[in-house]
Amino acid sequence: MASSHLLHNQSLFFPSPFKNRCFSNAPPTKLHFQRTPFVKASNKQLEIVYDPDERLNKLADEVDKEAPFSRLTLFSPCKINVFLRITSKREDGYHDLASLFHTVSLGDIIKFSLSPSKTTDRLSTNVSGVPLDDRNLIIKALNLYRKKTGSSNFFWVHLDKKVPTGAGLGGGSSNAATALWAANQFNGCVATERELQEWSSEIGSDIPFFFSHGAAYCTGRGEIVKDISPPLPFDIPMVLIKPKEACPTAEVYKHLQVDQTSNVDPLTLLEKISMNGISQDVCINDLEPPAFEVLPSLKRLKQRVTAAGRGQYDAVFMSGSGSTIVGIGSPDPPQFVYDDEDYSDVFLSDANFINREENEWYKELVSTTVSDPSEASATF
């Protein structure tokens, strides 16, 4: 899979020369791009056509003239579970896990603008089927931030969705973490990253991970996050393959039999990965057997990727509760994905491991993402 990795600024604005624990690329007050109207001419009339974003930009600038900036665009990366051990079932019905989480370069783009409303956030997106009300984790995160800090800021938010849902990639959790980070930037960074991380566990178990630096050993329900040094090189390529069908997490856990999970010590897995890198024997996911019961075709997909990719992938495994299959070691999917009609509607993306710097949010690596293999036959 052809892939270019060009580092993009996470903000729409020019970088500030000032450094503090707040967003290090925060723009100067009221600095924004000038948008020039263009003219359509004909022999009958002259029509002035304006960029509609200009009006929204002006409205956002008028909301709070004391705010450090009025608009912000951030990258919202997804994650994979390099290994995922389920260690016990708790009395509250949840399960304890131990997992190596790592952010990867596939992600969404979220645009935030201050809204003149003092009662409602407004969310839009480029895909259907995504809730736009307070069922969405972005709205839940903004509500949580206002509850914790007393902030009166409300937002227009546009979500450019690239991470598939029901994939085991934590796309919604990442969106929530990104929204908390953004709200804190608009509010002068009154909360620490540690506080944002702690608060986020109230609305989702995977959200706290994204306040790590990109690699973490997570335990409990996933909300206990131990930041670790990146154990794997960032230049290791991978391919993400997700069938059209999703794996409902609740259904996967219903089929889980804890007494039949792996008995390998997760800390041993972490040590092996840190010392020796990725191999099939360390990429254990205890949720694979129940996920394959829920979605038998997913088991077949993993088997076919493994067989077709011998010598191509260092490891093939499912991420999270599914239904994404990860192939580590090559950005290219196996040829059968293009040849077999059964896989004509799979989602495909190449990816790399990424992290973030202290007091900065994640930055996008431009990477080829393909959702329709028929459109990509000339790319690979």
Q: In the prediction, which pLDDT does 68 show?
A: 66
- Quick one: pLDDT band at residue 20, thresholds 50, 70, 90? very low
Mean pLDDT on 247-263:
95
DSSP 76: E
Taking the C-alpha atoms of 375, 377, 378 and 379 in order, what is their torsion angle to the nearest 10 degrees?
A: 80
Check residue 356 and give its pLDDT. Answer: 97
User: CA–CA separation, 79 vs 212, rounded Å?
Assistant: 12
Structure letter (DSSP) for residue 11:
S
Distance CA 336, CA 131 (A): 34
Residue of 373 and 268 predicted with greater confidence: 268
33 band by pLDDT with thresholds 50, 70 and 90: very low
Pairing of strands 315-318, 369-370: unpaired
**Joined tokens for residue 253:** 């856990």
Residue 372: closest CA among 324, 338, 326, 330: 338
Neighbouring C-beta atoms of residue 121, cutoff 10 Å: 24
Q: How far apart are CA 259 and CA 282, in angstroms?
A: 20
**Does residue 50 carry a pLDDT above 60?**
no
Question: So what's the pLDDT on residue 70?
Answer: 87
SS3 content of the chain, % helix, strand, coil (to 5): 30, 25, 50
Cβ 337 vs Cβ 365: under 8 Å: no
| CA distance to 26, 183, 275, per residue, from 132 (Å) | 27, 18, 44
What are the chain's domains? 38-375 (3.30.230.10)
- What is the rounded average pLDDT for all residues in the chain? 85
Q: What is the DSSP string of 186-241?
A: HTTS-S-HHHHHHHHTTT-SSGGGGGSSSEEEEETTTTEEEE----S-TT-EEEEE
pLDDT at 29: 39
Residues 6+ apart with CB under 8 A from 316: 280, 283, 302, 305, 306, 309, 325, 326, 327, 328
What pLDDT, on a 0 to 100 scale, did the predictor assign at position 144? Answer: 98
- Tell me whether strands 155-160 and 122-125 are parallel, antiparallel or unpaired: parallel
Q: Is the pLDDT of residue 16 over 50?
A: no
Sheet holding 369-370, edge to edge: 315-318, 325-328, 237-242, 347-352, 369-370
- Catalytic positions, written as ranges: 79, 206
pLDDT at 269 over 70: yes
pLDDT band at residue 67, thresholds of 50, 70 and 90?
Answer: low
What is this structure's pTM? 0.82
Q: What is the pLDDT of residue 59?
A: 59
pLDDT in tens, 115-124: 999 999 999 9
Q: How far apart are CA 125 and CA 120, in angstroms?
A: 17
User: Do you find a cis peptide bond into 105, omega within 30 degrees of 0?
Assistant: no
| Calpha distance 286→318 (Å, rounded) | 10
Q: Which long-range contacts (CB under 8 A, 24 or more apart) does 273-281 make?
A: 273/82, 273/83, 273/100, 273/231, 273/232, 274/231, 277/232, 277/233, 277/314, 278/82, 278/232, 278/236, 278/314, 278/315, 278/328, 278/329, 279/314, 279/315, 280/314, 280/315, 280/316, 280/317
Over residues 98-116, the mean pLDDT reads: 97
* pLDDT tens column, 324-358: 999 999 999 999 999 999 999 999 999 999 999 99
Which is nearest to 355 in space by CA: 111, 6, 101?
101
**Which tokens sit at 34?**
């000038």
Stretch 59-63: mean pLDDT: 60
Q: In whole angstroms, what is the distance from residue 286 CA to residue 259 CA? A: 11
Q: Determine how many CB atoms are found less than 10 A away from the CB of residue 275.
A: 8
**Residue 366 — very low, low, confident or very high, per pLDDT cuts 50/70/90?**
confident
In the chain, % of residues over pLDDT 90: 76
Whole-number Å distance between alpha carbons of 114 and 186: 8
Each residue of 159-196: pLDDT tens digit? Answer: 999 999 999 999 999 999 999 999 999 999 999 999 99
Please classify residue 241 by burial: count the beta carbons closer than 10 Å to its beta carbon, then call 0-12 exposed, 13-18 middle and 19+ buried: buried
Q: Are 141 and 179 in contact (CB under 8 A)?
A: yes
Is the distance from CB of 124 to CB of 158 less than 8 angstroms?
Answer: yes
- Contact status, residue 242 vs residue 323, Cβ threshold 8 Å: yes
Q: What percent of the chain has pLDDT over 70?
A: 78
Give mean pLDDT, residues 262-279: 97
